């Protein structure tokens, strides 16, 4: 901590503004030691006008007095200004080293011992409250085995986790399972709860759902064991019809790379104008050629790349269109038009997950009613294909397990 102690008024005799760096260990020391340190420094610099620390005290701005026994950490802050002012100030409590100070210290130690005894007594009372006659128990249940039978559950519950359930001791094991169900994401009928006294889940029968907690265990200090086992259910996979919008990648090459800097801005602007004119006249191939020539000069805008990408898509070149959209997003990552173009191109390439993600990002940036139907179709198709792939993998795993 660094502070500034000031004595006197600037320009007058005896004025001193002394910066003082206090180590962390001084946080518990009294302010009197800070005053003493400043007085020593002052007397070295003004030997002819030495002062006695007993006749001075420290003050904060607006005249708030710092008492000699105030703690440094509670009264001073980093880079604060403190004034050394004439006049002695009495201690808040008894001066250090006096009989009164020793008595005060003994009183604090006695109070600390009493508080510790009170905490120990409270702990004993809590232990007694956990018995069978307690109003509420805090039952702990540890997951020993977890088999969800292939079900997709959002719960983060995993083997080794411990759940703590507040419940009445006269409640049944079945009621405990009901409360656990919301926490672990498993229906009570798929939960099997064991007492470690009976060997736990290793070889004993699970506790009966009708058995009361206070009959099954002496107190809630016991940690029960939980096995979750969900029967495997055959996955129903919906047929996936052909997508009329799917074309697959084209045979041609992708658009060539372009320079990072434009070789001729005027020529590029002229080529862009000619491309727009040809496009307005309905000559897509000519417009595509002019756009390509403009882009080849270097440093095209994201908009120019998207326009060429649209034309490439119309000419049955979805891979090239997706490449232009990706380059456009490298230039402007918030281009809804580029995301939308790439989403359409990826659908034609059969990349439905990526297409759905691009549609979603485009709609978040700039919502377009015109693509909602296609976006919905792509998202549903992506989900069906994922389900079909998962079912095929499960079927293969089951076949491998049978052969093993």
Percent of the chain with pLDDT over 70: 90
Pick the closest to residue 222 from 204, 197, 192 (CA basis). Answer: 197
Q: Domain 300-390: what homologous superfamily? A: Tetratricopeptide repeat domain (1.25.40.10)
Specify the pLDDT at position 133.
Answer: 57
CA distances from 281 to 277, 289, 312 (A): 6, 14, 17
Q: How many CA atoms lie within 13 A of 157 on its CB side?
A: 25
**pLDDT over 80 at 272, yes or no:** yes
Integer Cα distance of 359 and 107 in angstroms: 73
Token couple for 42: 């002052």
Does the pTM surpass 0.85? The reply is no
Instruction: Give the angle subtended at the CA of 391 by the CAs of 385 and 396, to the nearest 5°.
Output: 125
Whole-angstrom Cα distance, residue 319 to residue 251? Answer: 9
* Helix H or strand E encompassing 384: helix 372-403
Kind plus residue range of the DSSP H or E element containing 66: strand 64-66
- Distance (Å, whole) CA 256 – CA 292: 9
pLDDT digits (tens, 9 = 90+) for 90-99: 877 666 655 6
Do 2-86 and 137-229 share a fold?
yes
The total of other beta-carbon atoms located within 10 Å of residue 223's CB is 15
Residue 237 has pLDDT above 70, yes or no: no
Q: Note the CATH number of domain 2-86.
A: 3.10.20.90
State the Cα torsion 282-285-290-296 to the nearest 10°: 150
Q: Residue 110: its pLDDT value, please?
A: 84
Q: How far apart are the first and last CA of the chain?
A: 71
Rounded Cα gap, residues 118 and 124, in angstroms: 10
Give me the architecture of the 137-229 domain, per CATH: Roll (3.10)
The answer on pLDDT for 266 being more than 60 is yes
Mean pLDDT of 315-339: 96
Tell me how far apart the 2 most distant CA atoms of the chain are, in Å.
Answer: 106
Domain boundaries, the chain: 2-86, 137-229, 300-390
Cα separation of 71 and 288, whole Å? 79
For the chain, the residue count is 404
Strand order in the sheet with 137-147: 162-167, 137-147, 223-229, 191-194
Asked if pLDDT for residue 227 goes beyond 80, the answer is yes
Average pLDDT over residues 212-234: 83
Rounded CA-CA distance 339/328 in Å is 9
Model confidence at 343: pLDDT above 80: yes
Supply the pLDDT for residue 258.
Answer: 95
Confidence label for 108 from pLDDT (cuts 50, 70 and 90): confident
pLDDT greater than 60 at residue 127: no
Distance separating alpha carbons of residues 220 and 201, to the nearest angstrom: 19
């Amino acid at each position: 901590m660094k502070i500034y102690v000031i004595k006197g008024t600037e320009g007058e005799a005896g004025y001193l503004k002394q910066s003082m760096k206090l180590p962390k260990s001084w946080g518990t020391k009294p302010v009197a030691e800070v005053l003493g340190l400043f007085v020593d420094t002052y007397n070295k610099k003004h030997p002819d006008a030495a002062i006695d620390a007993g006749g001075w005290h420290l003050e904060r701005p607006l005249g708030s007095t710092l008492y000699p026994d105030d703690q440094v950490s509670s009264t001073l802050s980093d880079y604060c200004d403190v004034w050394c002012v004439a006049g002695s100030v009495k201690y808040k409590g008894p001066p250090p080293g006096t009989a009164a100070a020793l008595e005060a210290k003994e009183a604090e130690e006695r109070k600390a011992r009493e508080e510790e005894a009170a905490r120990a007594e409270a702990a004993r009372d809590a232990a007694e409250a956990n018995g069978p006659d307690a109003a509420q128990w805090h039952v702990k249940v540890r997951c020993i085995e977890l088999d969800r039978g292939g079900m997709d559950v959002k719960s983060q519950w995993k083997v080794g986790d411990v759940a703590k359930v507040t419940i009445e001791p006269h409640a049944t094991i079945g009621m405990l399972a009901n409360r656990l169900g919301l926490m672990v994401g498993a229906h009570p009928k798929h939960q099997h709860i064991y007492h470690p006294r009976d060997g736990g889940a290793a070889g004993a029968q699970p506790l009966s759902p009708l058995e009361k907690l206070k009959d099954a265990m002496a107190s809630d200090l016991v940690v029960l064991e939980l096995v979750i086992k969900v029967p495997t259910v055959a996955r129903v996979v919906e047929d996936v019809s052909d997508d009329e919008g799917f074309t697959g990648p084209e045979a041609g090459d992708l658009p060539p790379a372009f320079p990072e800097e434009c070789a001729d801005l005027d020529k590029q602007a002229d080529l862009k104008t000619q491309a727009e004119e040809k496009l307005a006249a309905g000559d897509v191939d000519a417009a595509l050629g002019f756009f390509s020539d403009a882009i080849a000069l270097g440093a095209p805008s994201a908009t120019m790349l998207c326009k060429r990408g649209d034309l490439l898509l119309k000419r049955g070149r979805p891979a090239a269109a997706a490449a232009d959209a990706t380059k456009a997003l490298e230039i402007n990552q918030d281009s809804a038009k580029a995301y939308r173009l790439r989403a359409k191109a990826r659908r034609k390439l059969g990349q439905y997950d990526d297409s759905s993600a691009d549609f979603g990002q485009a709609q978040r940036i700039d919502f377009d009613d015109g693509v909602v139907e296609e976006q919905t179709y792509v998202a549903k198709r992506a989900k069906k294909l994922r389900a079909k792939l998962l079912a095929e993998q499960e079927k293969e795993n089951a076949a491998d397990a049978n052969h093993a």
